[in-house]
Amino acid sequence: MAIKKGPTKGSGGKHRNKLKGYGPTPKAEDRVYHKAYKAKKAAERRQMADPRLAARRRVDKFASADTSDLVYGRNSVLEALRVGVPSSTLYIMSRIEHDDRTREIVKIAGMNGLHMLEADRLEMDRIARSGNHQGVILKVDPFQYSSLNELADRAEKKAKAMEAANSAAARIAARPLFIALDGVTDPRNFGACLRVADAAGVSAVITPKDRSATLTAAAVKASAGASETVPIVRVTNLAGSIVELVDAGVPIIGTAGEAQKTIYEFDQKGAFGWVLGAEGDGLRQLTRRRCSDLAKIPMLGTVESLNVSVAAGICLFETVRQRTVG
């Protein structure tokens, strides 16, 4: 077979060293001299000019994936601003229909020097992870929980100071009142309990760090501003904290459906405390054993339990009744 003379196709690997370090051939859109590159840059400029995308970039600058530091809803945001909740940013929905609440929200936010950002409905839904924001979202600073020992000492000093008051009702109302929540994991129930506690003049709400709701946006909304007026204590060992209060002379009564006594059989005019569990599960066994006694709410109908915030209201206002009426 005759071998054809002349140049062969390809280099036969003779020039492979010249290509070292160059890597793969760039895509057409990455080559600055290629028309695909110019088309890509033109598309990016159009995106930058899109007002919807501009709003998203502004939101992304301040928003986070965690919604636990957000308060939304006109009433909740207004109450949070009125009581001075530490905040950084206020989001307002574009083309919102303003009312007296939103006007006051904007006014207070401006006086406090908050960042005020405008976003469309889709962006507001994305920030709140909900469509129930009513056009206003407030980004608050992380909540600072109180110390049980400090609050107990403060309540005791206040009670002693008020013993000199001329009004017997004022002296009784100043006496310490605590409520502990064991296993209440629903933030709305937690917020509702805070609202009841504020109305009853509670000295502190005590919750365990495990198996317990934290002060999320849902809890703040349900509390209607009470989360900023009621001291909240998170403890590692709820049973141990109950023992500390009992040793300090504060009777702590746990609620249980099978208890022999009712909530009306205890003298609650002095320092006093209640412990309530979640609806259904109730108090944990160790918590029950550490309480001074157990009590039940008389149930005359067919239902077997009450929502924890309803039960808290019944128990706390029995204390209020005894202290104010006698």
Please report the pLDDT score of residue 223 as a whole number: 86
Greater pLDDT, 142 or 187: 187
Greater pLDDT, 209 or 313: 313
How far is the C-alpha of 127 from the C-alpha of 229, rounded, in Å?
26
Q: What is the mean pLDDT of the chain?
A: 81
Please report the pLDDT score of residue 260 as a whole number: 92
pLDDT in tens, 222-274: 888 788 888 888 888 999 999 988 988 889 999 998 899 999 999 998 889 99
Is the confidence at residue 64, as pLDDT, over 60? no
Question: Considering only 21-30, 74-83, 113-122, 277-286, which range has the smallest mean pLDDT?
Answer: 21-30
What DSSP assignment string belongs to 148-199? Answer: HHHHHHHHHHHHHHHTT-S-HHHHHHTS-EEEEEES---HHHHHHHHHHHHH
Average pLDDT over residues 48-67: 57
Q: pLDDT grade, residue 160 (50/70/90)? A: low
Q: pLDDT grade, residue 295 (50/70/90)? A: very high
* Identity of the highest mean pLDDT range in 38-52, 74-88, 232-246: 232-246
Total residue count of the chain as it appears in this document: 326
How far is the C-alpha of 295 from the C-alpha of 259, rounded, in Å?
5
**8 A C-beta contact, residue 141 and residue 88:** yes
Average pLDDT over residues 143-161: 67
Average pLDDT over residues 319-325: 87
Do the bridges between strand 136-140 and strand 70-72 make them parallel or antiparallel, or are there none, so unpaired? Answer: antiparallel
- Residue written as token pair 């205890």: 266
Please report the pLDDT score of residue 274 as a whole number: 96
Q: What is the DSSP letter of 278?
A: B
How far is the C-alpha of 311 from the C-alpha of 180, rounded, in Å?
12
Is the confidence at residue 18, as pLDDT, over 80? no
Task: Work out the percent of the chain whose per-residue pLDDT is above 70.
Answer: 77
Greater pLDDT, 33 or 136: 136
Q: What is the DSSP letter of 84?
A: T
Report if pTM > 0.85: no
Greater pLDDT, 59 or 299: 299
Question: Considering only 9-18, 69-78, 303-312, which range has the smallest mean pLDDT?
Answer: 9-18
Q: What is the domain partition of the chain in residue ranges?
A: 49-140, 148-324
Task: Work out the percent of the chain whose per-residue pLDDT is above 90.
Answer: 28
pLDDT in tens, 86-120: 788 899 998 888 888 989 999 999 998 898 988 88
| Domain 49-140, CATH class in plain words | alpha beta
How far is the C-alpha of 82 from the C-alpha of 325, rounded, in Å?
32
Greater pLDDT, 222 or 289: 289
Average pLDDT over residues 269-295: 90
Average pLDDT over residues 149-173: 64
Is the confidence at residue 65, as pLDDT, over 70? no
| CATH match for 148-324 among 3.40.1280.10, 1.10.357.10, 3.90.550.10, 3.90.245.10 | 3.40.1280.10
Please report the pLDDT score of residue 326 as a whole number: 60
**8 A C-beta contact, residue 225 and residue 76:** yes
